[in-house]
Amino acid sequence: MHILIMLMIPAALVALAILFYVLAISSRRSYRCPKCGEKLQTEYLDAKRCGMCGAPLERSL
C-alpha cells in the first residue's frame, strides 16, 4: 500500500507540471512595435507599450 502511494505522488506532480506548462503556453501573447519593430512575448500579461521606445503596441497573430 505504501509503495502505491509513493508511486502516485510523483505521477501527480508530473501531471500538475504538464498542466501548468500548457496553461503558460496558452496565455502567451506576441507583440510587435510598429515604430521600432521590436518583437516581444508575454505570459499572463497584456503589454500596452514597447519597452524600447514607448510606442503603443499592436498584437501580432
pLDDT digits (tens, 9 = 90+) for 21-55: 998 788 778 888 889 988 888 766 677 788 889 88
* Alpha carbon 52 to its chain's center: 21
Residue labelled with grid coordinates 500500500? 1
- Reduced DSSP (H G I as helix, E B as strand, rest coil) percent helix, strand, coil of the chain, to 5: 40, 25, 35
* pTM of the complete model: 0.49
Please report the pLDDT score of residue 45 as a whole number: 65
Tell me the C-alpha distance between 55 and 13, whole Å.
Answer: 42
- Domain regions of the chain by residue span: 2-59
- 33 within 8 A of 22, measured Cβ to Cβ: no
